Amino acid sequence: MLLIERRGRIAIVTLNRPEAMNALSKALRSALHEAMVQFDQDPDVSAVILTGAGERAFTAGLDLKELGADPAAMGAANDQDARSNPVRAVETCRKPVIGAINGVAITGGFELALACDVLIASENARFADTHARVGIMPGWGLSQKLSRLIGPYRAKVLSLTGNFLDARTAAEWGLVNRVVPADRLLSEALVLAEDMTSIPVETLAFYKGLIDDGYGMAFRQGLALEHERSSAHNADVTPERVEQRRRQVMERGRGQ
């Protein structure tokens, strides 16, 4: 139910339950956690691509059939344990995670998409927050993240109607980075991931953490965090290292 492929320093993770719209069953959530822990600890992995099998769905969120059959499973919507909360699972990976959104991302699937660092959407992608319609409130961050990303008015329209947001509008609203034809989704994600892998993995992890941790603070606190961390980091940078990186940047610029 979870496919893993390696392409150089890139790991491709595919939610593989297309017959169930890649719904996040307990077993799938556990497998995703194990994969993300593995990639976080693997020095040969610099970036991760997360996508879904088929063209219908990235993921439809929690497996409602499973929830309906097991009352004890209802707590999954609020569980903060990374072994059962897929958002927390993705957040355990300090390397950049690119979400390649191949189809619908609904409710918990929408929350999982928002856990990624970058979103590239297929023309088939659509997003919907149906928490209110299902009668379950979000517990994986959607109510707070969405309004910060697209503004409270747009977020309320989506969350208080349950209506779908198409890929093009999502890009216009700044929710996704770009929209591509369905047959180019993975190749475009791989190009972006390759660009990231040209940077040392420890630098990627450091900068991702700096952005994410600062984003959760007030602006002045974020500036103080940047000063604190960058001062400590930059104190260890030698002139020789700067020159080496400068030459690499120049060579890359000539090749583009």
Average pLDDT of every residue of the chain? 92
Residue-level pLDDT at 256: 58
| Cα–Cα distance for residue pair 117/231, rounded to 1 Å | 25
Per-residue confidence band for 236, with pLDDT thresholds at 50, 70 and 90: confident
May I ask the CATH class of domain 2-197? alpha beta
Residue-level pLDDT at 72: 60
The per-residue pLDDT for range 39-79, each reduced to its tens digit, is: 999 999 999 999 999 999 999 999 888 776 666 655 677 88
Asked if pLDDT for residue 109 goes beyond 70, the answer is: yes
| Cα–Cα distance for residue pair 116/214, rounded to 1 Å | 16
Asked if pLDDT for residue 18 goes beyond 70, the answer is: yes
| Cα–Cα distance for residue pair 175/111, rounded to 1 Å | 12
C-beta separation of 4 from 12 below 8 A: yes
**Degrees to nearest 5, angle at CA 189 with 152 and 244:** 105
Domain boundaries along the sequence of the chain: 2-197, 201-255
Q: Tell if the pTM clears 0.85, that is, is over it.
A: yes
Per-residue confidence band for 92, with pLDDT thresholds at 50, 70 and 90: very high
| Cα–Cα distance for residue pair 53/18, rounded to 1 Å | 6
The per-residue pLDDT for range 134-185, each reduced to its tens digit, is: 888 999 999 999 999 999 999 999 999 999 999 999 999 999 999 999 999 9
